[in-house]
């Protein structure tokens, strides 16, 4: 009976996790056993294969991990006590298939043993069972916390079990000067300001830990010692809260020594970043509160060539990164760099595609400053600080792209101009040929008149003046018509524009990945003068894009193919990253790296105007109704002149009726 009850209890627990009951019962047949342990009895030994996972029903089980220190002495690095209804050995099954601790009963205990092979079969059939066995979402974030960078997945999982999550509004006191130092705090996302310390305020961002004493003395009971400083949130903040003793038991580390050394390392690394060399020490210390501090435990792609950079990434000392790049469609030799180093600094000023792919190597630490967080720092602490940035000369060239974006407002975010091409000068000559002939005729006639004595008819003067004016107007028209026709190649698409001033404007566009074929044709004179016709077959709705009188058409074709190849390489890399992320998500290995310290900006409010006058103005504002922004979509309406055309007839009839009625009343 006891065995049957144990079987039913395990089945019910697994069914509650979302597994079908019949599959669970089938997988667990003969795999569940009740075990009674006497006080001091060993449940399993460290570094032995995982044979079973245990559910504690009564008593207490203590787990310990024994390791050798640098002097060869045996030290306990992990100590945990399991209580009734808690699992034992389940994390070892998930990660190692080998027990990383030894377990023994502290008192007479009863456990239910489930055969590891049966659990493995269920994990194979239902991969999401991993997310039920372990809090993988929280573990994925704790893996990236520098304070936990030395821990393996098993220790991290036990920490996740005892870590509480606290959500606090801005300007909330986390603790005051008299609060005991019995808890540690880690910022999941947000900002905390430590006040009342000897060196002034300390600003902390994502991934940074606090709650330490400045210089703990040996033997001091920190749980009863006041902190002597206050901690206040600067923005809405999410914190991990951990009992100090739990951290020591599960890691065997000194939190003060480790936590304060990590904070000093971040501050010293930021001091070495050339970009902020002209900032004062206090300004750099404040900026740290707008940055994220990550520990990257595995090889992880941070930046990908071709994407628009949104952050400055700083590699801290002791870490390594691999740089990869494509040039001319060919992969260059990867380069391994060591910290301290930094990448993507142009993102602080401009939107710029990345020149290289940056991959963080395992167990490296990084600081990240997201562009929007940097702008928030400037707004609060001085917009003039942007002029104190020490950036490379390349930023001046990138800043020039802003003028291009203003001129071509239809360029999308992250889209940058690669090539701007007008037609050959011969096309301009064709457009202004009539004006040039008129100028020649008027000039010749003027020279003849000047050389002929005697009075000349007035009408002849007006005739020549009119011809000159006509030629000038035609020349200006032809020049503007020539300047308004061009071909653009961006890092995302190809655009052809044909515009006749005040009459028509035609813009054809196709994304680079939609281009199927590029044909170049030329004539004898075209080959002689260096022009030809380019015909681009696309899968876009606009069909083929043709552009004649193209200077050096083969060079333009090569540029398009190069950008298309870079685009394809970018999509292939992105697809691989998507597959990698899906696999990591499925097996619970996805790293959680909050990009921003400050909360995301709220979308524009759609509230209706409050006062009567505002409502009237809003209802009469045609422009306000042409483009409507909603939470997940944007609605564009047709131009108001289309509405006018549709209601023009009924309005005319209504106006005629009103005039007739008014006329009857006014006339005798």
Handedness of CA 485, 486, 487, 488 (dihedral sign): negative
Q: What is the tens place of the pLDDT at every residue in 384-401?
A: 999 899 887 766 666 655
Report how far apart the first and last C-alpha atoms of the chain are (Å, whole number): 112
pLDDT of residue 64: 93
| Average predicted confidence (pLDDT) for the chain | 84
Hey, is 445 helix, strand or coil?
helix
pLDDT by residue (tens digit) across 248-290?
A: 999 988 898 999 999 999 999 999 999 999 999 999 999 999 9
**DSSP structure class, residue 539:** S
pLDDT at 608: 47
pLDDT for 441 equals 87
Enter the tokens of residue 579: 């597959």
Beta bridge partners, 175, equal 231
Specify the pLDDT at position 381: 93
Q: Write the DSSP symbol of residue 234.
A: S
- The pLDDT value recorded for residue 372 is 92
- Can you tell me the mean pLDDT for 227-243? 92
pLDDT interval class at 293 (50, 70, 90): very high
* pLDDT range class, residue 607, cuts 50, 70, 90: very low
Provide the edge-to-edge strand list for the sheet that holds 335-338: 300-303, 357-360, 320-324, 335-338
Average pLDDT over residues 575-603: 70
Packing angle of the helix pair 244-251, 255-271 (nearest 10 deg): 90
Average confidence (pLDDT) over 594-609? 64
pLDDT at 630 over 60: no
Q: Does residue 633 or residue 343 have the better pLDDT?
A: 343
pLDDT of residue 218: 53
pLDDT band at residue 628, thresholds of 50, 70 and 90? low
Q: How much is the pLDDT for 561?
A: 86
Predicted TM-score (pTM) above 0.85: no
pLDDT tens-place string over residues 309-319: 889 999 999 99
Q: Phi first, then psi: give them for residue 374, nearest 5 degrees.
A: -65, -40
Strand partners, 22: none
More confident residue, 178 or 456: 178
Q: What is the mean pLDDT of residues 470-480?
A: 89
pLDDT one-digit tens code per residue, 514-532: 888 899 998 888 888 889 9
| Gap between the Cα atoms of 126 and 121, Å rounded | 9
pLDDT of residue 604: 41
pLDDT of 400: 59
| Strands annotated E in 69-201 | 74-82, 87-88, 102-105, 109-115, 164-168, 173-175, 183-189, 192-195
> How buried is residue 410: exposed, middle or buried, by Cβ count under 10 Å (0-12/13-18/19+)?
exposed
């Amino acid at each position: 009976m006891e065995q049957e009850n144990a079987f039913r209890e395990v089945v019910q627990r697994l069914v509650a996790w979302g597994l079908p009951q019949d599959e669970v019962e089938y997988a667990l047949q003969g795999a569940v056993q009740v075990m009674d342990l006497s006080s001091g009895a060993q449940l399993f030994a460290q570094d032995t294969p995982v044979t079973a996972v245990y559910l504690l029903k009564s008593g207490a089980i203590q787990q310990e991990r024994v390791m050798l220190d640098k002097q060869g002495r045996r030290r306990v690095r992990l100590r945990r006590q399991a209580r009734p209804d808690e699992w034992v050995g389940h994390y070892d099954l998930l990660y190692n298939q080998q027990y990383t601790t030894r377990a023994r009963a502290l008192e007479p205990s009863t456990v239910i043993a489930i055969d590891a092979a049966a659990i493995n079969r269920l994990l194979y059939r239902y991969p999401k069972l991993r997310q039920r066995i372990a809090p993988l979402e929280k573990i994925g974030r704790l893996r990236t916390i520098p304070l936990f960078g030395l821990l393996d997945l098993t220790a991290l999982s036990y920490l996740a079990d005892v870590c509480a999550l606290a959500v606090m509004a801005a300007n909330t006191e986390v603790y005051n000067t008299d609060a005991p130092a019995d808890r540690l705090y880690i910022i999941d996302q947000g900002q905390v300001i430590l006040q009342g310390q000897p060196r002034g305020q300390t600003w902390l961002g994502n991934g940074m830990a606090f709650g330490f004493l400045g210089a703990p003395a040996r033997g001091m009971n920190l749980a009863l010692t006041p902190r002597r400083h206050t901690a206040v949130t600067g923005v809405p903040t999410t914190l991990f809260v951990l009992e100090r003793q739990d951290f020591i038991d599960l890691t065997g580390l000194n939190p003060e020594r480790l936590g304060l050394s990590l904070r000093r390392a971040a501050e010293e690394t930021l001091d070495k970043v050339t970009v902020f060399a002209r900032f004062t020490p206090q300004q750099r210390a404040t900026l740290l509160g707008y940055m994220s501090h990550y520990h990257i435990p595995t090889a992880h792609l941070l930046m990908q060539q071709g994407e628009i950079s949104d952050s400055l990434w700083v590699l801290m000392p002791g870490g390594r990164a691999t740089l990869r790049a494509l040039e001319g469609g060919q992969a260059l030799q990867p380069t391994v760099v060591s910290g301290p180093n930094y990448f993507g600094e142009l993102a602080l000023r401009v939107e710029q595609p990345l020149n290289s792919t940056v991959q963080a190597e395992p167990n490296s630490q990084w600081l990240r400053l997201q562009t929007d967080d940097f702008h928030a720092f400037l707004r609060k602490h001085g917009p003039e600080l942007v002029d104190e940035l020490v950036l490379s000369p390349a930023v001046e060239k990138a800043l020039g792209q802003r003028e291009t974006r203003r001129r071509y407002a239809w360029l999308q975010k992250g889209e940058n101009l690669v090539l701007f091409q007008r037609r050959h000068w011969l096309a301009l000559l064709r457009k202004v040929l009539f004006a040039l002939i008129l100028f020649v005729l008027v000039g010749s006639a003027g020279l003849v008149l000047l050389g002929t004595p005697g009075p000349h008819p007035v009408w002849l003067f007006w005739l020549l003046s009119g011809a000159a004016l006509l030629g000038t107007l035609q020349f200006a028209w032809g020049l503007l018509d020539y300047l308004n026709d061009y071909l653009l190649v961006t890092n995302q698409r190809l655009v052809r524009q044909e515009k006749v001033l005040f009459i028509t404007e035609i813009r054809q566009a196709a994304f680079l990945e939609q281009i199927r074929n590029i044909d170049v044709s030329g004539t004898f004179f075209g080959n002689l003068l260096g022009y030809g016709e380019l015909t681009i077959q696309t899968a876009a709705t606009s069909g083929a894009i043709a552009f004649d009188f193209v200077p050096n058409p083969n060079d333009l074709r090569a540029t398009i193919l190069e950008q298309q190849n870079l685009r394809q390489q970018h999509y292939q890399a992105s697809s691989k990253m998507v597959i990698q992320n899906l696999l990591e998500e499925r097996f619970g290995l996805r790293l959680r790296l909050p990009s921003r310290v400050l909360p995301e900006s709220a979308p524009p409010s759609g509230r209706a105007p409050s006062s009567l006058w505002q409502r009237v103005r809003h209802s009469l504002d045609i422009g306000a109704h042409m483009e409507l922004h909603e939470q997940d979509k944007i609605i564009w309406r047709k131009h108001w002149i289309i509405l006018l055309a549709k209601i023009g007839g009924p309005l005319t009839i209504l106006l005629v009726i009103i005039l007739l009625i008014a006329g009857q009343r006014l006339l005798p």
